[in-house]
Structure 1
Amino acid sequence: MNKEDTVTRLLNNENESGELTQKAVTLLAEAGAVQGTLHLPGVRDAYRSRLEQVVLLAGQALGNAVESREAALLHWVLVQACAARAEDARYGAGQLSRGAQRAPTLEDCNDGWQRVEQIASTAEEAALAAAGFAQRLNTDKARAMALRAEVAAKSARKTVQERNLAYTFHADPGFSFGEGWYLAAAALFADLSIQIRPGAAHELQARRFLFDAGLDGALRPYRSRPASPKHLTHIIAEAFRADAQQAQGTLRSAFLGDESPSAPLRAWVDAKVGGTPEQKVLLWVRTGDHHVQRNTCFDELRQLSELVVNAGLSPIFFGDNVPRELVPPGAVNLTLCWKEPLFQGPDMRRAQLHLFEELRWHHGLVGQIGVTTAGMDGPALMGLPTLYLTQERNGRLGKWVGAVPGYQEVVREPGYFATICATLHQWQQCPPRIRQGYHSTAGHRSLAVTGIPW
């Protein structure tokens, strides 16, 4: 029997106000007895049910009460029950707000916050009722109880008002550099708010990137409990599914700007890569402390390198450090290059993207392979064909498969090397072509890729 049926039965069967009053008093005592165990499974739900029954029963009994003493008792019962409901709603609003803020999609997040708003309204209604019953009693204890309800209701409303709509753009080397790519991308598509922690090591570089991308107006003062980055990949996927060519054009225009890569960058790339004329594939290396289970396995990296070479391509190792013995003759080792001054200046983020562009259009880069590191996301969103390796299907990045052109997920299951091998041969046979001239300053805005069977 559900809660509503139970209350209906009580109201229909307990016709004498005295019996209703006694039942309300008993349920209130039972609710008070479990307050120390509300954290246990199922206890809080039962507690809330009792409080609702108390309010319903006491209200019914109050309408039938003929003695002033009974009415006063019921007023006191109702003050306590309404105050307890307000305080419970304050707790519920706080708990649900945390879950809503971490929801996997923006839609789920907004739905959760709508429920928080409803709970805050429940707290306010309970506090208002408690104040009315306390006024009738006109005692210090009743007023103190009503004040507690008012404080709880204001706290619940404050939870709603202080919702942080901004997403954090991490500018500290200890966080994922690559997350910035898809936060900026999602902000371009969905008009999101962005915050940067003051004093972060790369705060100025992050602000410069956002300014160059036309997102400086999205910046907000830094606050705690930011929106969850889980929403971002979903927002990007939706934009690409709606119009992939337009979405990619928007990002290329914002992230790459109107200027070609700088002369120092072109000279640096030519000195590092110019002696290897073969078409090339980036092999990403990840050896971080965060989510170490996602790090590169060097045995797998060796096999990937062999597959690249056997496909008639040349590997470029990129990312974290790699043992020298894993780099075959003729391969290029650009690991840790991102630490060089060329890629650590005020325009560090755009310089990295220009590095990939220079490799792509002047040095035969046809694709990239790596573990689920967010560093790959920047060039992937710019149109570089991508294979990311994962132990199991990735709920967040998997949304891009079939949406972002050339973006593929490879689960490590029997036969996955054959899948990689087939894709490498496809890249080798169908390298990307430029529709419009790369060298023109307007070329970055309208650059598009053809020739890859997405």
Structure 2
Amino acid sequence: MQGKLHLPGVRDDYRSRLEQIVLLGTRAMENGIEEQEIASLQWILLQAHTARAEDARYGAGQLSRGSQRAPTLADCEDGWQRVEQIVCTAEEAASAAAELARQLDTAKAQALADKAQVAATEARAIVTERNRAYTFHADPGFSFGEGWYLAAAALLAGVLIQIRPGAAQEVQAKRFLLDAGLKDSLRPYRSRPASPKHLTHIIAQAFHADAAGAQRTLRVAFLGDESPADSLTSWIDHRVGGQPGRKVLLWVRTGDHDAERNTCFDELRQLAELVVKAGLTPIFFGDAVPRELVPPSAINLTLCWKEPLFQGPDMRRAQLQLFEGLRCRHGLLGQIGVTTAGMDGPALMGLPTLYLTQEPNVRLGQWVGAVPGYQEVVREPGCFDVICDTLYQWQQ
């Protein structure tokens, strides 16, 4: 069967047969058999235990890959517990093979036992060498905002971080993490990192335990003790200072990844009208937006994140300080947009946030009721009434 293990269903059948051989052979040895048959049965059991150890190594490897990328932290840990059980099977099989080889006392038997031991050792290494670090993506092709997830999870729950060497924004990523006090959380880059899908759950747990304390921790780490650079303050005053009223950020997303989540411009126009009708000034932020969608009273900061001010070594802190400056000095009340991670840095620091989604978001929905001011609006009849009510609440 070993030449066909890659075919559908064959490995499960193979594994079942091995277990049956070990069970029946062990039972026969315990019940007593003819002297002349002992060596033959020992040889059969030795082969079966060796094959079982090698199969367990394969199974542990396959399951560990799936477990590491599991969508929830609970699923991930459950998978790794099952990996541990499979590894124990490999070790038990190797131990039995070693005893049988000692009894048979031949070079051929010892060679099989050695194969079983190698398989068990390699299986154990899968567990001991598990990569518990999460990757802080420092490549412009990945979500910029997920870096805030990871830094927050490290600050609140002690998760480990790795950065791929040579990434386009490696220097900026390290600068942000070091400025946030996360030097001890950094680990050398390794393959098969933990899944970033776990991070929203980890952060939600910390906020459920102590929302005010979690928010305080993130604000201190993300913003630092020093005042924003004069160049940033001047930039904000120049771009926004001429309109002193209260404001709302309207996020624009037009990326290639998960394009179905992108901003619908008809919806964006409606949102802008609601904000203006509420007596507030819309600030368009994020990706490019057609000029005709921007009302005369609005402020257009789309693509500003591409300017040199927000691309230098301190780019991540500068962006967060931009949102903070808008909130503290220019009347920013909250932000509205589709599910884009860019919104979540400001949200974690206390900016009221409302995100629109086609259906309840399993990952980000965990923050609703945990992160103060974080709200989900599913696109269904009456959703714009919810937005109007939210704008009124922000004004109050």
TM-score tier, shorter chain, comes to over 0.9
Aligned counterpart, 1:91: 58
Alignment partners' CA distance in 1, 2:269 and 2:69: 38
Matched, 1:156 2:114: no
Give SS of 1:389's match.
strand
Aligned counterpart, 2:256: 289
Aligned counterpart, 1:309: 276
Aligned counterpart, 1:261: 228
Gaps of 5+ in 2: none
Which letter maps to 1:395? V
Alignment partners' CA distance in 2, 1:88 and 1:416: 54
Aligned counterpart, 1:185: 152
Alignment partners' CA distance in 2, 1:241 and 1:365: 26
**Which residue of the other structure, out of 307, 317, 320, is the alignment partner of 2:287?**
320
Give SS of 2:380's match.
coil
Aligned counterpart, 1:383: 350
Give SS of 1:221's match.
coil
Give SS of 2:254's match.
coil
Q: Deviations over 1:23-73 (max 9, x none)?
A: xxxxxxxxxx476156524x5444333222211211122234443432122
Aligned counterpart, 1:60: 27
Alignment partners' CA distance in 2, 1:401 and 1:60: 57
Aligned counterpart, 1:398: 365
Aligned counterpart, 1:69: 36
Q: Give matches, 1:50-449, under 5 Å.
A: 50-428=17-395, 430=396
Give SS of 1:293's match.
helix
Alignment partners' CA distance in 1, 2:20 and 2:368: 51
Give SS of 1:305's match.
helix
Alignment partners' CA distance in 1, 2:390 and 2:68: 38
Q: Structure 1 vs Structure 2: percent identity of aligned residues? A: 74
Give SS of 1:214's match.
coil
> Shift of residue 299 of structure 1?
1.3
Alignment partners' CA distance in 2, 1:251 and 1:63: 63
Q: Deviations over 1:209-239 (max 9, x none)?
A: 1111100111110000011111111111111
Aligned counterpart, 2:8: 40
Gaps of 5+ in 1: 1-32, 431-454
Alignment partners' CA distance in 1, 2:325 and 2:373: 19
Which letter maps to 1:394? N
Deviates more, 1:95-104 or 1:219-228: 95-104
Alignment partners' CA distance in 1, 2:2 and 2:229: 69
Greater radius of gyration (CA): 1
Q: For residues 40 and 427 of structure 1, do their structure 2 counterparts lie closer, same or farther at Cα, with a shift above 3 Å needed?
A: same
Give SS of 1:260's match.
coil
Give SS of 2:334's match.
strand
Alignment partners' CA distance in 2, 1:91 and 1:151: 12
> Shift of residue 295 of structure 1?
1.0
Alignment partners' CA distance in 2, 1:63 and 1:320: 73
Alignment partners' CA distance in 2, 1:358 and 1:58: 75
Alignment partners' CA distance in 2, 1:147 and 1:289: 51
Give SS of 2:250's match.
strand
Q: For residues 39 and 253 of structure 1, do their structure 2 counterparts lie closer, same or farther at Cα, with a shift above 3 Å needed?
A: farther
Alignment partners' CA distance in 1, 2:269 and 2:26: 75
Tell me the TM-score normalised to structure 2 length.
0.96
Give SS of 1:170's match.
coil
> Shift of residue 426 of structure 1?
1.9
Alignment partners' CA distance in 2, 1:375 and 1:269: 19
Which letter maps to 1:97? S
Moved >6 Å (runs of 4+):
none
Q: Deviations over 1:245-270 (max 9, x none)?
A: 11100100111111222211111111
Give SS of 1:358's match.
helix
Q: Deviations over 1:323-375 (max 9, x none)?
A: 11111101111011011111111111111011001111111111101111100
Aligned counterpart, 1:452: none
Give SS of 1:80's match.
helix
Alignment partners' CA distance in 2, 1:342 and 1:399: 33
- Provide the aligned length of Structure 1 versus Structure 2: 396
Q: Deviations over 1:408-442 (max 9, x none)?
A: 011111221121122112223x1xxxxxxxxxxxx
Q: Deviations over 1:67-100 (max 9, x none)?
A: 3432122112101211121112112211221222
Alignment partners' CA distance in 2, 1:120 and 1:72: 28
Which letter maps to 2:359? E
Give SS of 1:288's match.
coil
> Shift of residue 108 of structure 1?
3.7
Alignment partners' CA distance in 2, 1:349 and 1:73: 69
